[in-house]
Every structure is written in structure tokens, then in C-alpha cells.
Amino acid sequence: MPFPAFYDHAPRIRVRDPLSAFLGASDDGVLEYGYADAVRLAGHSCPTLAGAYLMTVKALNHLYGDTLPERGGIQVHFRETETTSATGVMGRVAALLTGAAGDDGFKGIAGHFDRRDRLFFGANITGDIAFRRLDTGAGVQASFRGAAVPSSPETRDLLPAVLNGAGSAGDAERFRALWQGRVKAILVDHADDPALVELAAWA
């Protein structure tokens, strides 16, 4: 699967999933995720997807520090409703990394490993997404400031022609390069820029 090479340089995260260990999906329950997993899930790569991925990784690292996040032990709250803009897609990315689910999630086994009531939309928060550990109650809000890594004016100029099939093959190739170039800038060049992803306390 020929993904752009920079996907491998984006931040990765390791989590521990008790259900994975219990059912033998992995011996120790440790799972590792990278940006390519989010792309496989969504079927595309864009700045919004990159922002959702980066917010989730940074929030989990903040909440768990030097320990592995517990997949399935985290609540995720979105400020926007599920059908607003790309919030639904962002929710699926956060759910991939945290195991959080709504009413349609895994019901558990004999009272264990229930993944429901973990994913919420339309929450009364100021950030884009809020995360809470169920074991300690610690929480954090995350906001993605995409304007910190602006798109190229050339991208905006090329989009209509490429979208409508009026552009040349060279236009399409240039558009893709610029589009993924911004994603690279978000995930690699500016991954640690505090102006790009802002974390705030959530009591």
C-alpha cells in the first residue's frame, strides 16, 4: 500500500487494551497505532483527519504520562454534533485510538469490557474534543488550530479545476502534492507546535 513516506514519521501511540489481552488478539494487550491506521479507517488523508489524530495522541500522552493509555477506559466528548462538518469522521479517529463508542459499541462480556457510553457529541466544552480517564477522572480538552499551518493559495486555485475534471494531469499531481504537503507540515514539521494543538484543563 504505497502511502506517502511521511506517514511513518508522524507521531505514533501505544495503548494497552484489556479486551485485546483477554481474547488473545495480542499477548500483552499492547496495540500500536500510526497515522496510516487513521487513513485506512477514513479512506483519505486531510488536515482535519490529521488534526483529530494529533489531538487524540497528544491528549492521551498528557493524561497518561509515562504509562500506556488504557484503550476502552477513556471517555471522549466532542463540542460539535456528530453530523456537523467532519465531526463524525473525527469521532471515528478518536474512537480508533481510545476504544470509545456510543450506544452501538461493544456490549462487553459478563459485565466486563463494555465500550458503550464512552463517545459523546454536542458536549458543553470549550475545546474541540475533551478526554477523560475513567479510572482517575482526570480530563483534558484539546483544540486544533489549523490556521497555524495555512494551506497554499495555489491549492485553493487548483481545487475547482481538479475537482471538476478541467485540470490537467499535472494540475492533479500538483494539487495532491500540495494537499499532502500541508498534512505533512501538521503531523511532522509542526507536530510539537503548541499553537497547532492546544491542551487545556478539564475538571
Stated pTM of the model: 0.97
Dihedral (C-alpha) 192, 193, 198, 201: value to the nearest 10 degrees?
Answer: 50
Average of per-residue pLDDT values in the chain: 97
Res 27: pLDDT? 87
Q: How far is 77 from 117, CA to CA, in rounded Å?
A: 10
DSSP 70: B
Q: Distance between the two ends of the chain, CA-based, in angstroms?
A: 42
Residues of the chain with pLDDT > 90, as a percent, come to: 98
* Mean pLDDT score, 99-114: 97
**With 90 as the cut, is the pLDDT of residue 119 above it?**
yes
Q: How confident is the model at residue 1 (pLDDT cuts 50, 70, 90)?
A: low
Residues of the chain with pLDDT > 70, as a percent, come to: 100
Q: How confident is the model at residue 107 (pLDDT cuts 50, 70, 90)?
A: very high
Give the tens place of pLDDT for each residue, 151-167: 999 999 999 999 999 99
Q: How confident is the model at residue 2 (pLDDT cuts 50, 70, 90)?
A: confident
Could you give the C-alpha distances from 182 to 73, 83, 175, in angstroms and in order?
33, 25, 11
Q: How far is 42 from 93, CA to CA, in rounded Å?
A: 8
* Mean pLDDT score, 17-38: 96
**With 90 as the cut, is the pLDDT of residue 43 above it?**
yes
Give the tens place of pLDDT for each residue, 50-97: 999 999 999 999 999 999 999 999 999 999 999 999 999 999 999 999
Give the tens place of pLDDT for each residue, 122-160: 999 999 999 999 999 999 999 999 999 999 999 999 999
Beta strands 119-120; 74-78: pairing state: parallel
